[in-house]
Structure 1
Amino acid sequence: MKSSSSSSSKLFTIGLVAAWYSSNIGVLLLNKYLLSNYGFKYPIFLTMCHMTACSLLSYIAIAWMKMVPMQTIRSRVQFFKISALSLIFCASVVSGNVSLKYLPVSFNQAIGATTPFFTAVFAYLMTFKREAWLTYITLIPVVTGVIIASGGEPSFHLFGFIMCIGATAARALKSVVQGILLSSEGEKLNSMNLLLYMAPIAVVFLLPATLLMEDNVVGITLALARDDVKIVWYLIFNSALAYFVNLTNFLVTKHTSALTLQVLGNAKGAVAVVVSILIFKNPVSVTGMLGYSLTVFGVILYSEAKKRSK
């Protein structure tokens, strides 16, 4: 009896990881398709659609389906902290989506793999937290790999590269700031509750940015929908998938360890690269792939070094 329950829980975990991978890679590929292949050149509006879906679906999952207990915001200070996190989160998602207009997914993922480097830098600058010297040494191949990949990238675009670096840095900054801001027991929120509060605040930030920077986007989208109704389904599916990424990430974290999540995350980037090259057929050079492989190898070494220093 015990072995059947352990095998079913193992199957459940495998299913969760598969759902996390497919939703993660699905959002990335669909974003790329919409923003560069389909010609829907509105990354801020696309991010706003994602955040709107995350607001609605988070509320349904927590308030109606009771997937996790609802946690309340305790004070005005905590609200401002969540708002600051939301702003950084917006910056990372918008920059990432903008970069997908100009860069292939494979190169985008190579740059994204440098997150540990930025996390270590921000942790040191903001909390004076020093890692073991060996941990810092493992960051050398992480950065070197991206420099090599950039030199060997046939579709290199400077503005797209800057946006992607900005997105990666903002993602790392969010994780460090989150650790600082919501570290006290009374203020800790699980990731599903944090998304429930962050997503609507993100919509408030993104709405004026969309109206100011993406002129008449709603009118253009409606006109597009009249010509091709598929755009509406693409946007709805893409936005729901963006929430599903956060939901499956939370569930995988809950059912596995943080270390397993790190290892799976590293592998996910490599899977995304292979899938995107197969789908979009973007040219890749041997130098680019060597650079990316070096970065992933560096991230694995970094994870090992962090584990040993604890």
Structure 2
Amino acid sequence: MAKPGWLSAAVLKQIILSYTYVVTWMTLSCGVILYNKYILDGNMYNWPYPITLTMIHMAFCSALAFLIIRVLGRVPSANMPLSIYLKSVVPIGVLYALSLWASNSAYIYLSVSFIQMLKALTPVAVYSWGILLKKDPFKPSVMLNMVAISVGVAIAAYGEAKFDVLGVVIQLCAVLFEAARLVIIELLLKSKGITLNAITTLYYVAPSCLLFLSIPWFIVEYPALREASSWNLDLFTFGTNAVWAFGLNLAVFLIVSNLSALTMNVAGVVKDWILIGISWSVIKDRVTPVNLMGYVVALLGVLYYQRAKLQAMKAVDKEKEGQGQGEGDVESGRLLEEAESDRGSLDKKHQLEG
């Protein structure tokens, strides 16, 4: 018998595993963001083709997801009928493609720190889409919370040293598309009882995302790539970048399965501050006091919103505890998506960051 005050081996093992999952996810998430910034930024690797980069990620993730599910059989597929796929998954794939295209494009114009600050608007966009699509009821208290977040982001934008209007518009579009994707997942999939993890999401969504991206790619980037003779890709750079992105999705798979939404919300906040610190100290982006003040205001609003949702989730769990229903796990997954895409990853959710 363990001595009083001592942790059992099983509890200690779970704590170590939890911290390992969190550190792995944070490392991979930060790595994908910084790696994408490095490739796309004109002052670094200088390869300004965000659609092509996103397509490389989607092709690689599609292939590996197919290998894991169909060849190795390590993760069961959802056995989704074609009609459901066309009506539900394809629209999600389109929104996912638009979100990734816009978010990767923003790295060309904005600093990593400022992008993370703008991502704080994700809960505002999710709630707004929820009201427009009649998924969520309008609540004055929640809307006041959304206004506080928006004011904080506005202050951060006002203090941005390298404010770029086009970059801000692109990043805001990314937030809107990602928020729409999260809401559509609830309406088109989870309402039908279909829940996808990170790997099955890639298996079903990444191919449609890749197909949709090929349309603007032929129009926007194919001519530029042909003229610039940039077809000889650096296999090491783009290969490791794609592996890193897929590794992030594997980490999300473990995170959603093993940790609570509260843990991920806290980890997401820590990750954002780490990215801001790296942006300032390593990349040498300028972070002003007004920037930080605005972000703190927005972050407090986000944390309050997440706290309210977690309390609501716990109340639902208590009501259904005696009935043996597991809807709390589904809600935890949705909270994870909103927190990381958040601002994410994949949110997370299926917090997929391509």
Is TM more than 0.5 here?
A: yes
Could you tell me how far 1:189 is from its partner in structure 2? 2.8
Structure 1 vs Structure 2: percent identity of aligned residues? Answer: 28
Q: How does 1:119-130 map to 2 (within 5 A)?
A: 119-130=126-137
What is the rounded CA distance, in whole Å, between the counterparts of 1:264 and 1:134 in structure 2?
26
Specify the code of the residue in structure 1 equivalent to 2:274.
V
Query: Paired residue for 1:148?
Result: 155
1:230-266 superposed Cα distances (whole Å, 9 cap, x missing partner):
x321111111111222221121111012232233223
Query: Paired residue for 2:143?
Result: 136
Specify the code of the residue in structure 1 equivalent to 2:247.
F
Structure 2 residue 292 is matched with structure 1 residue 284 = no
Structure 2 residue 220 is matched with structure 1 residue 220 = no
Query: Paired residue for 2:183?
Result: 176
Q: How does 1:172-251 map to 2 (within 5 A)?
A: 172-214=179-221, 215-217=223-225, 220-223=229-232, 225=233, 231-251=234-254
Query: Paired residue for 1:228?
Result: none
1:91-136 superposed Cα distances (whole Å, 9 cap, x missing partner):
0010001111000000000001110000010011102412654333
1:166-202 superposed Cα distances (whole Å, 9 cap, x missing partner):
0011111100000000024553333321221111111
Q: Which structure dedicates a bigger proportion of its chain to helix?
A: 1
Query: Paired residue for 1:38?
Result: 45
Structure 2 residue 96 is matched with structure 1 residue 89 = yes
Structure 2 residue runs without a partner (length 5+): 314-354
Could you tell me how far 1:3 is from its partner in structure 2? 1.5
What is the rounded CA distance, in whole Å, between the counterparts of 1:169 and 1:94 in structure 2?
12
Specify the code of the residue in structure 2 equivalent to 1:135.
V
Query: Paired residue for 1:11?
Result: 16
**DSSP-derived class of the 2:229 partner:** helix
Query: Paired residue for 2:325?
Result: none
Contact 1:45 1:217 in 2 (8 A): no
Structure 2 residue 306 is matched with structure 1 residue 298 = no
TM-score normalized by structure 1?
Answer: 0.92
List structure 1 segments (4+ residues) > 6 angstroms apart after TM superposition: none
Structure 1 residue runs without a partner (length 5+): 226-230
Structure 2 residue 59 is matched with structure 1 residue 74 = no
Q: Matched residue pairs, number?
A: 304
Query: Paired residue for 2:34?
Result: 29
What is the rounded CA distance, in whole Å, between the counterparts of 1:68 and 1:88 in structure 2?
25
Specify the code of the residue in structure 2 equivalent to 1:19.
T
Greater CA drift, 271-280 or 98-107:
271-280
What is the rounded CA distance, in whole Å, between the counterparts of 1:196 and 1:131 in structure 2?
35
Query: Paired residue for 2:337?
Result: none
Structure 2 counterpart of 1:103, from 95, 110, 134: 110
What is the rounded CA distance, in whole Å, between the counterparts of 1:31 and 1:124 in structure 2?
33
Q: Which has the higher contact order (CA 8 A, sep 6+)?
A: 1
What is the rounded CA distance, in whole Å, between the counterparts of 1:210 and 1:127 in structure 2?
34
Specify the code of the residue in structure 1 equivalent to 2:17.
F
Q: 1:5 to 1:66 in 2, by over 3 A?
A: farther
TM-score normalized by structure 2?
Answer: 0.81
Query: Paired residue for 2:339?
Result: none
What is the rounded CA distance, in whole Å, between the counterparts of 1:197 and 1:77 in structure 2?
11
What is the rounded CA distance, in whole Å, between the counterparts of 2:192 and 2:103 in structure 1?
32
What is the rounded CA distance, in whole Å, between the counterparts of 1:66 and 1:14 in structure 2?
28
What is the rounded CA distance, in whole Å, between the counterparts of 1:309 and 1:184 in structure 2?
19
Structure 1 counterpart of 2:69, from 62, 73, 78: 62
Specify the code of the residue in structure 2 equivalent to 1:251.
L
**DSSP-derived class of the 1:183 partner:** helix
